Amino acid sequence: MYDGIIITMKKTKLIIITIISALILSACSSTPVAGEIGTEPAVQKPAAGEAPTGSAGYDGSAANVREGDGRTVVGISMPDRLLERWNHDGTFLKEHFEDKGCEVILKYANNLIDTQISDIRSMIDGGADLLVITAVDGAALSSILDKAKSQGIKIIAYDRLLMNSDAVDYYVSYDNYKVGVLQAEYIIAALGLKNSKDSKNIEFVTGDPVDNNARFFYQGAVDTLLPYIENGKLTVPSNQQGFYETSTAQWSTDIAQQRLQIILNSYYPEGVKLDAVLCANDSTALGAARALAADYTGRNNVVVTGQDGDVANIYNILNGSQSMTVYKQLKQESVVTVALGKDIISGNSPSESLIEQSGWDFECNFNTTDYNNGKKVVPSYLLRPIAITADNIQKELFDTGLYVRNSSGLIYAAK
Ligand code: BGC
């Protein structure tokens, strides 16, 4: 009954949107955001006395549903606040959508599937036109996504693919396979594997198996390292090199640390050298650095990879306890998502042309082959990650203003 009312209201809204689409377009298509070119109409701000934008003044309850009033509501569902990046992603997405005149409901799920499902339900009940979702567990949201689709709500999988659902419209991410390739290429160069005569030792600390990205990172790395494992230039003393046996639940720093400590204590007695740890991201790299500091008896500098450019890891790259990170500029991911979201809300089916029209000053590729979620190949916009090392960190991250050091030398990711 309740659902029926919502569906009817939603239909009414869609009809009104169609009739006055030219006017409404300006509700979510105004001030250009960083990285976009061109002048657009002025932002249509909420009228005085109406509910404020953002989750603070808008609890997403049914009482707040305002149908057919020309507003565009975007629900942003993020996995957790523990990892630095999702805090930035949430902030950028919210700001950029609000800059376009959209009303935003932003929620964090504390890494809990049930919380994320109820967050999304409240966004649907709150009149969302578009959902931008980074799943805690990519395969656990099918029913709630079906509900959203049945009400005409558009869905963008943000950074992590939403699995087993034909309700997802688009995927925006970085080239996840390439992330693993960059980590592996760094290891190959740092250990001089191409020309080395002796075998080097490596261990793997991969990501959360319920995150579809984790397998892409792993695959990119393993495909690149496999020739060296096969020709004996790389050895895995623990013999743990499959995806699941090397995975890290919830990308947890503690779990990564504990697993590597067990490996060090079991397979690296004094005299056995560990040359590299392939860590899928920065939270796992932090765990690896702690495990090495606590339990590694060798004196060599172990190569440790990462991904994200979390501030703690930037310090570790500068002090030598982490060798590299794969940097993904989150603002770009948000800019692409907002442009895409805006386009699909207006009833378009964007493709390659979105990239051509946007005139972004960064690389973005439209991909219609690689991201099959089990139900469909999801059209994807993929950005290009870059490798950051002690050698290029100043030029790539500080000179560009992406990170700043304050007068006391403390480092911040710039807003
Ligand atoms: C993201 C990474 C992040 C990891 C842990 C992945 O889906 O692509 O950037 O480090 O999740 O949150």
Q: Over the stretch 220-232, which tens digit does the pLDDT of each residue have?
A: 999 999 999 999 9
pLDDT score recorded for residue 70: 78
Is residue 414 very low, low, confident or very high in pLDDT (cuts 50, 70, 90)? confident
147 Cβ neighbours under 8 A, 6+ residues apart: 3, 121, 124
In terms of Cα–Cα distance, which of 120, 100, 125 is closest to 45? 100
pLDDT at 29 > cutoff 50? no
CA-nearest residue, atom 6 of ligand 1: 213
Instruction: Give the pLDDT confidence of 121-149 residue by residue, as tens digits.
Output: 999 999 999 999 999 999 999 999 999 99
The residue-averaged pLDDT of 273-280 equals 98
The span from the CA of 4 to the CA of 75, in Å, is: 21
Query: Sheet holding 154-158: strands in order across?
Result: 103-108, 73-78, 130-133, 154-158, 170-174, 380-383, 364-367
Instruction: Give the pLDDT confidence of 80-134 residue by residue, as tens digits.
Output: 999 999 999 999 999 999 999 999 999 999 999 999 999 999 999 999 999 999 9
Q: Cβ atoms within 10 A of the Cβ of 209, count?
A: 16
Higher-pLDDT residue of 159, 50: 159
Atom of ligand 1 nearest to the CA of 280: 10
- Which of 78, 81, 83 best tests ligand 1's pocket when mutated (most atoms within 8 Å of CB)? 83
DSSP 390: T
- Which of 78, 159, 330 best tests ligand 1's pocket when mutated (most atoms within 8 Å of CB)? 159
Pocket residues: Cβ below 6 A from ligand 1: 83, 85, 159-160, 211, 213, 251, 281, 307-308
Average pLDDT of the chain? 87
Is residue 397 very low, low, confident or very high in pLDDT (cuts 50, 70, 90)? very high
β-pairing, 386-389 vs 324-327, is: antiparallel
Query: Hey, which residues does 108 pair with through a beta bridge?
Result: 78
pLDDT score recorded for residue 68: 54
Task: Please give the distance of CA 141 from its chain centroid, rounded to a whole number.
Answer: 17
The span from the CA of 128 to the CA of 97, in Å, is: 13
Query: In angstroms, what is the span from residue 218 Cα to ligand 1's centroid?
Result: 13
The span from the CA of 210 to the CA of 390, in Å, is: 32
Query: In angstroms, what is the span from residue 281 Cα to ligand 1's centroid?
Result: 7
pLDDT at 45 > cutoff 50? no
Instruction: Give the pLDDT confidence of 298-355 residue by residue, as tens digits.
Output: 999 999 999 999 999 999 999 999 999 999 999 999 999 999 999 999 999 999 999 9
Q: Which of 43-57, 208-222, 283-297 has the lowest mean pLDDT?
A: 43-57
Atom of ligand 1 nearest to the CA of 86: 12
pLDDT at 62 > cutoff 50? no
pLDDT at 23 > cutoff 50? no
pLDDT score recorded for residue 415: 67
What is the pTM (predicted TM-score) of this model? 0.84
Instruction: Give the pLDDT confidence of 354-393 residue by residue, as tens digits.
Output: 999 999 999 999 999 999 999 999 999 999 999 999 999 9
- For 173, the 3-state DSSP assignment is strand
DSSP 394: I
Atom of ligand 1 nearest to the CA of 174: 8
410 Cβ neighbours under 8 A, 6+ residues apart: none
What sign does the CA torsion over 178, 374, 166, 207 have?
negative
**Phi and psi at residue 238, to the nearest 5°:** -75, -15
pLDDT score recorded for residue 69: 63
**Phi and psi at residue 360, to the nearest 5°:** -65, 150
In terms of Cα–Cα distance, which of 84, 99, 89, 12 is closest to 54? 99
Determine which helix (DSSP H) or strand (DSSP E) holds 342, and give its type and residue range: helix 330-345
The residue-averaged pLDDT of 156-181 equals 98
β-pairing, 403-405 vs 303-304, is: unpaired
Greatest Cα-to-Cα distance within the chain, rounded to the nearest angstrom: 75
142 contacts 157 by C-beta, under 8 angstroms: no
The span from the CA of 378 to the CA of 370, in Å, is: 8
Query: Hey, which residues does 105 pair with through a beta bridge?
Result: 75
Query: In angstroms, what is the span from residue 348 Cα to ligand 1's centroid?
Result: 29
β-pairing, 103-108 vs 73-78, is: parallel
Atom of ligand 1 nearest to the CA of 212: 7
Query: In angstroms, what is the span from residue 331 Cα to ligand 1's centroid?
Result: 15
